[in-house]
Chains A and B, each alone.
Chain A
Amino acid sequence: NAGVMQNPRHLVRRRGQEARLRCSPMKGHSHVYWYRQLPEEGLKFMVYLQKENIIDESGMPKERFSAEFPKEGPSILRIQQVVRGDSAAYFCASSRDSDHGNTEAFFGQGTRLTVV
């Protein structure tokens, strides 16, 4: 069973470009979470999605950031018109429904975004 897969692992964008980060959850997982880790800081929750639904986006910046988890395919975190302050590591995690007794979210290796 493959783990949570994130790609690309490293992404370089010029200021003003768009960044698209992909996350394929573990097989059987229908919950996806995105976190951002700024240099020398902990992980900050951004958004929680289930298939085709955004459940909690309380950690998402109000502008330029969006996330989706379509019925088919990976979850996408999109950052439009990137700025240098968006440079960070973005981690995706997935979990099964809690009713199935799974008790944790599993994390991907992260995508390190550098804005130049």
Chain B
Amino acid sequence: AQSVTQLGSHVSVSEGALVLLRCNYSSSVPPYLFWYVQYPNQGLQLLLKYTSAATLVKGINGFEAEFKKSETSFHLTKPSAHMSDAAEYFCAVSDGTGGFKTIFGAGTRLFVKA
């Protein structure tokens, strides 16, 4: 069975500050890991994905995430927050077997202060 835990339902940062959104996963097989962003009343947009290639994954909008097997973590970071980054972020895991049923974390809402 797979699961995802996102630490912190709300994160607030100042514009220009580092963004760090935490995600820990549990998987009995090598996982595929994803970060999605959801803007208000919108669908999910894929930010980045880890598929067992490089452990440091770069995504869109300046975001990146590092897969750390020893810590079962896949934290999302961005060096400098922008007002447009304010949204809900979801970490997700899939085992990729026979399809990509994806299990989501509860989400972290990012607030960016001017």
A interface with B by C-beta (< 8 Å): 31, 33, 35, 41-45, 48, 50, 55-56, 91, 93, 95, 97-98, 102-110, 112
Contacts and interface: CB of A to CB of B under 8 A. Distances in A.
Given A33-B102, A45-B101, A103 B51 contact: yes
B94 interface: yes
B56 interface: no
Interface residues of B, number: 24
A93 B101 CA distance: 9
B75 to A, nearest CB: 17
Contacts, number: 66
Contacts of A91: 43-44
B90 interface: yes
Residue from the set B34, B97, B100, B105 with the largest chain A CB neighbour count within 10 Å: B100
A35 B105 CA distance: 13
The SS class assigned to the A binding surface is strand
A109 B42 CA distance: 6
B44 A103 contact: no
Contact of A105 (B42, B51, B100, B107): B100
Contacts of A110: 43
B100 A43 contact: no
Contacts of B101: 33, 45, 48, 56, 105
